[in-house]
Amino acid sequence: MPYGQVDRIAKLIPNNPAKPTTIAQAVASEEELRKQRRDDEQVADLIDVSMKLEGLYRHASTHAAGLVIGDRPLAELVPLYRDPRSDMPVTQFNMKWVEKAGLVKFDFLGLKTLTVLQRAVEFIGNRGIELDLGALPLDDKLTFDMLSNGDTVGVFQLESSGMRDVLRGLKPDRFEDIIAVVALYRPGPMENIKDYVARKHDPSQITYMHPDLEPVLAETYGIMIYQEQVQQAARVLADYTLGAADILRRAMGKKIKEEMDEQRQIFITGATKHGLSEQLASDVFEQIAAFAGYGFNKSHAAAYALVSYQTAYLKANYPVEFLAASMALDAGHTEKLAVFRQECQQKNIGVLPPDINKSSSGFAVEEAVSVDGAPELAVRYALSAIKNVGAEAMSRLTEIRKTDGAFTSLKDLLQRLPREVVNRRQMENLVRAGALDKIHGNRRELIENMDLILSHADAMRREAESNQVSLFGGDSDVIDDSIRLRETTDWAGMDRLKEEFDALGLYLSAHPLDSYASQLGRLRVTSHAALNDLVKAGRAPQRVNLAGSVTAKQVRVSQRGNRFAFIQFTDQTGVFEVTFFSDVLAEANDLLDSEKPLLISANLKVEDNGPRLLAARVQLLDDAIAAWHGGVALWVQDEKPLKSLKEALKSDGPGKAEVKIQLIVKGQEVCIGLPGRFKLSGDLRQELRRMPGILNVREL
């Protein structure tokens, strides 16, 4: 059977992790499932066979973090199994049965977030500020204001879009709110979130199942959220001991009928002694049981909430150190780095480019100078986050720099770096990313002379290893003199950005859309971030214009044989995905491969898992601007590009757009308007961005 068909049938079975639905229950409750079973013999066979297999083990697996401890060799207590891919023995009993066999079971969770916290504290310590995460005030206003605004990118457990919506509605102002949200934001108990928020903001809505339960449930506004509250309720209403209350909690969680019937009788007997009628006691038991099915362990939720609060505190109070630490732990994931880069932009935090003389192997915090000349903290981009250079090689490079000082020239760099740090792939990507700009600013010149550069590096290495004195009686200066790089003009803005993107996986120094800023408003372009805000506010239009550059493309074939694609774009505010169906894809295919900024007109559908964009029309952004007759300003350093510019404008033909030349004369910026009006077609606009000698192009 086709995967898509089976997947659709499987999705008809309700997903409730707290109380899994059997196939028989799903058939009884889902009309569509019964219809497919009746109408399709193959589906009927699928369901019949599945019901026979249901409950059998599909495979042997090892709990990722579960460890057991016994008082003698484990083989004497439980049967063991050895995974052929691992040298670690595991128990054949599952996590429930090992306890009954007498073993003590632990879950040891390794959280990347703990390393992020530690790294951030180290960065803060470099400023002479000693921060004790265990002694943070749990009532920090900056932290709760940030959480209430849903500003939680990078905050443990709280950064999903759904959770951010919850936080904006809840407006948490105490640590207990974070514990409650962590416990509630799961399938099942999520239905209580609206009630929790409503009761927090309107105490008149708070009710209790029984007056005696107020001390137990006051913290959660009368809603039973935690397993510990189930135990406390049993003690208060029915005189359970702590041990007996724990048995009740387990019975309610497992929903085993015999155990539940036994516990109901014990509960009713105890509750009637407290003056409750038998009927009321039974009703209260049922309500508690309904909550207990979803109940979360509060001690677990509190531990997670504390880590959430600590990350939120650092982000609110030490954003530079926190974001640098977060980027350090996601150095290999360019999508996450792009999100953190965008977060830095929104918070006006500088992200300094990779630099072989200033960057570490990992991300770091550095003191920079702001626009007004005041010192400010910034994130320095990691050398190891450049593609295909290797963290080990970059660590070696920074060790050499720390030992012997900064690299002063290309020759100095080649002389001091071992072969494993300067192979072709590593060297080329360091150049493309801009890491060598301070010692040689022309990136294209270095790339096109790479064979020459690497052969000289080998020659210098051989000379150093042979320890022979040069024929001319000097040191290796003779070799440096013989490096004659073929001169070439550096890449123009757009090409330079493309090469940088290929090396980093994101736009760092600028974005291709930066020079279009003044025109995007005229074309009614909505940014990715603004669209998200409109969707959250419920004010999103059905048709939207977006501008972006293609960063990824996945083409698929439907069951009917039609091609469709998921295209990932980037604008200045983030990354977004647009679905292209066969007709639009066929028309836009060449444009999607053009590597030029595009204008996408898309239909917006807001679904349960978020907004979905369906492409309706695509065109080159330059063509769309040309249709508006938008002019351009061109920055030049001297007269060298003027001849090429004149010929290009003449060839393109007359039109309605103006062209201005910007240059510096005696320290003053001068603007010269060219006489006449020009066509400025989309192709010419792209050519101007690549024309040697034109430093920058801005839309007017």
We report the CATH number of the domain holding residue 476 as 1.10.150
Residues 372 and 406 in one domain: yes
Q: What is the pLDDT of residue 467?
A: 61
Does residue 175 fall inside a structural domain? no
Residues 477 and 335 in one domain: yes
Report how far residue 317's alpha carbon sits from residue 144's, in angstroms, rounded to the nearest whole number.
11
363 or 666, higher pLDDT: 363
- Structural domains counted in the chain: 6
284 or 370, higher pLDDT: 284
Does residue 204 fall inside a structural domain? no
- pLDDT, one tens digit per residue, over 365-375 is 998 877 666 78
With a pLDDT cut of 90, the percent of the chain lying above it is: 43
Does residue 141 fall inside a structural domain? no
CB neighbours of residue 478 within 10 Å: 13
Range of the domain at 16: 3-53
Q: What is the pLDDT of residue 512?
A: 83
The last residue of one of the domains, among 462, 481, 500, is: 481
pLDDT tops 50 at residue 472: no
- pLDDT, one tens digit per residue, over 117-134 is 999 999 999 999 999 999
* 547, 599 Cβ separation under 8 angstroms: yes
> Per mean pLDDT, which range of 128-142, 228-242, 345-359, 685-699 is the poorest?
685-699
Whole-number average pLDDT of the chain: 87
Q: What is the pLDDT of residue 680?
A: 86
Q: β-pairing, 610-620 with 598-607? A: antiparallel
Could you say which DSSP state residue 297 is in?
-
535 or 344, higher pLDDT: 344
Q: What is the pLDDT of residue 480?
A: 43
pLDDT tops 70 at residue 476: no
Does residue 486 fall inside a structural domain? no
Residues 460 and 367 in one domain: yes
Residue type, 427: M
The last residue of one of the domains, among 295, 317, 347, is: 295
Q: What is the pLDDT of residue 475?
A: 47
Q: What is the pLDDT of residue 259?
A: 82
pLDDT tops 60 at residue 42: yes
Residues 345 and 228 in one domain: no
The last residue of one of the domains, among 572, 606, 625, is: 625
Q: What is the pLDDT of residue 257?
A: 76
pLDDT tops 60 at residue 468: no
- pLDDT, one tens digit per residue, over 433-461 is 999 999 998 999 999 999 998 888 888 87
Residue among 494, 526, 491, 524 nearest 511 (CA): 494
pLDDT tops 80 at residue 479: no
Residues 393 and 259 in one domain: no
pLDDT tops 90 at residue 599: yes
Q: What is the mean pLDDT of residues 573-582?
A: 87
Q: Which residues contact 482 (CB under 8 A, 6 or more apart)?
A: 456
Q: What is the mean pLDDT of residues 271-300?
A: 85
368 class by beta-carbon count within 10 Å (0-12 exposed, 13-18 middle, 19+ buried) = middle
Give 629's pLDDT tier (boundaries 50, 70, 90): confident
> Per mean pLDDT, which range of 277-281, 299-303, 695-699 is the poorest?
695-699
pLDDT tops 90 at residue 531: no
Give 610's pLDDT tier (boundaries 50, 70, 90): low
- pLDDT, one tens digit per residue, over 395-406 is 999 999 999 999
Residue among 212, 602, 299, 21 nearest 11 (CA): 21
Residues 620 and 671 in one domain: no
Q: What is the mean pLDDT of residues 591-609?
A: 86
110 or 427, higher pLDDT: 427
- pLDDT, one tens digit per residue, over 155-211 is 999 988 789 889 999 999 999 999 999 999 987 788 889 999 999 999 999 999 888
Residues 669 and 692 in one domain: yes
Distances (CA, A) of 473 to 466, 476, 477: 15, 10, 11
* 352, 307 Cβ separation under 8 angstroms: no
Report how far residue 303's alpha carbon sits from residue 182's, in angstroms, rounded to the nearest whole number.
10
Total residue count of the chain as it appears in this document: 700
313 or 88, higher pLDDT: 313
Residues 226 and 255 in one domain: yes
Q: What is the pLDDT of residue 371?
A: 66
Q: What CATH number should be reported for the domain holding residue 520? A: 2.40.50.140
Residues 335 and 475 in one domain: yes
Report how far residue 606's alpha carbon sits from residue 550's, in angstroms, rounded to the nearest whole number.
23
Distances (CA, A) of 193 to 96, 206, 243, 348: 30, 14, 30, 34
CB neighbours of residue 125 within 10 Å: 12
Which token pair is 416?
Answer: 């001091």
Report how far residue 697's alpha carbon sits from residue 630's, in angstroms, rounded to the nearest whole number.
12
Q: What is the pLDDT of residue 450?
A: 92
Q: What is the pLDDT of residue 516?
A: 83
Does residue 650 fall inside a structural domain? yes
For 317-344, b/e burial (b = at least 16 CB within 10 A) is bbbbbbbbbbbbbbbeebebbbbbbbbb
- pLDDT, one tens digit per residue, over 639-660 is 888 988 998 888 888 888 889 9
Q: What is the pLDDT of residue 608?
A: 61
Does residue 134 fall inside a structural domain? no
Does residue 189 fall inside a structural domain? no
Q: What is the mean pLDDT of residues 597-601?
A: 93
Residues 391 and 416 in one domain: yes
Residues 643 and 601 in one domain: no
Residues 47 and 71 in one domain: no
Does residue 381 fall inside a structural domain? yes
Report how far residue 684's alpha carbon sits from residue 35's, in angstroms, rounded to the nearest whole number.
60
